[in-house]
Amino acid sequence: MNNSKHVQESASDMAQRQQQMAEQTRTIAQRMAQIEHTIAVISGKGGVGKTTLATAIANRLASEGFAVGLLDTDITGPNAPLMMGVEGQRPTMDGEAIVPVVSATGVKVMSMGMLAEDRDTPVIWRGPLRGMAVRQFVADVQWGKLDYLIIDLPPGTGDEALTVAQSLPGIDGVVVVTTPQEVSLEDGRKAINFARRLQLEVLGVVENMSGLICPHCGQEIEVFGSGGGEKMAQQIGVPFLGRVPLAPALVTATDRGEPLSEELIPAPVWQALSQIVAKLRE
CA–CA separation, 110 vs 101, rounded Å? Answer: 7
Q: Is residue 13 part of a domain?
A: no
Find, among 184, 150, 120, 106, the residue nearest to 280 by Cα: 150
Q: Is residue 7 part of a domain?
A: no
The separation between the first and the last C-alpha atoms of the chain, rounded to the nearest angstrom, is: 65
Distance of CA 160 to the CA centre of its chain: 10
CATH code at position 256: 3.40.50.300
Q: What are phi and psi of 145, to 5 degrees?
A: -80, 125
The three state secondary structure string of 140-191 is CECCCCEEEEEEECCCCCCHHHHHHHHHCCCCCEEEEEECCCHHHHHHHHHH
Q: Is residue 2 part of a domain?
A: no
Residue range 55-68, pLDDT digits in tens: 999 999 999 999 99
Antiparallel, parallel or unpaired: β 146-152 and 101-102? unpaired
The pLDDT assigned to 1 comes to 47
Q: Can you say whether the dihedral through the CA atoms of 186, 187, 193, 197 is positive or negative?
A: positive
Q: Is residue 99 part of a domain?
A: yes
Q: What are phi and psi of 175, to 5 degrees?
A: -110, 125
Antiparallel, parallel or unpaired: β 68-72 and 108-111? parallel
254, amino acid identity = T
Q: Is residue 166 part of a domain?
A: yes
Residue range 79-122, pLDDT digits in tens: 999 999 999 999 999 998 999 999 999 999 999 999 987 778 88
Which spans in 198-262 are helix H?
A: 228-236, 248-255
> Are 90 and 112 contacting, i.e. CB atoms less than 8 angstroms apart?
no
Q: Is residue 6 part of a domain?
A: no
Q: Is residue 118 part of a domain?
A: yes
Find, among 136, 171, 177, 132, the residue nearest to 154 by Cα: 177
Provide the domain count of the chain.
1
Q: Tens-of-pLDDT digits for all 282 residues of the chain?
A: 455 555 555 777 778 888 888 999 999 999 999 999 999 999 988 889 999 999 999 999 999 999 999 999 999 889 999 999 999 999 999 998 999 999 999 999 999 999 987 778 888 888 888 989 999 999 999 999 999 999 999 998 888 999 999 999 989 999 999 999 888 999 999 999 999 999 999 999 999 988 777 777 777 777 776 678 999 999 999 999 999 988 888 889 999 999 888 888 888 889 999 999 999 998
The pLDDT assigned to 21 comes to 86
The pLDDT assigned to 190 comes to 94
The pLDDT assigned to 42 comes to 96
Cross-strand pairs, 208? 244
- Judged by phi (left if over 0) then psi (alpha if -120 to 50, else beta), residue 6 lies in alpha
Residue-range definition of the domain harbouring residue 126 = 20-281
Q: Is residue 87 part of a domain?
A: yes
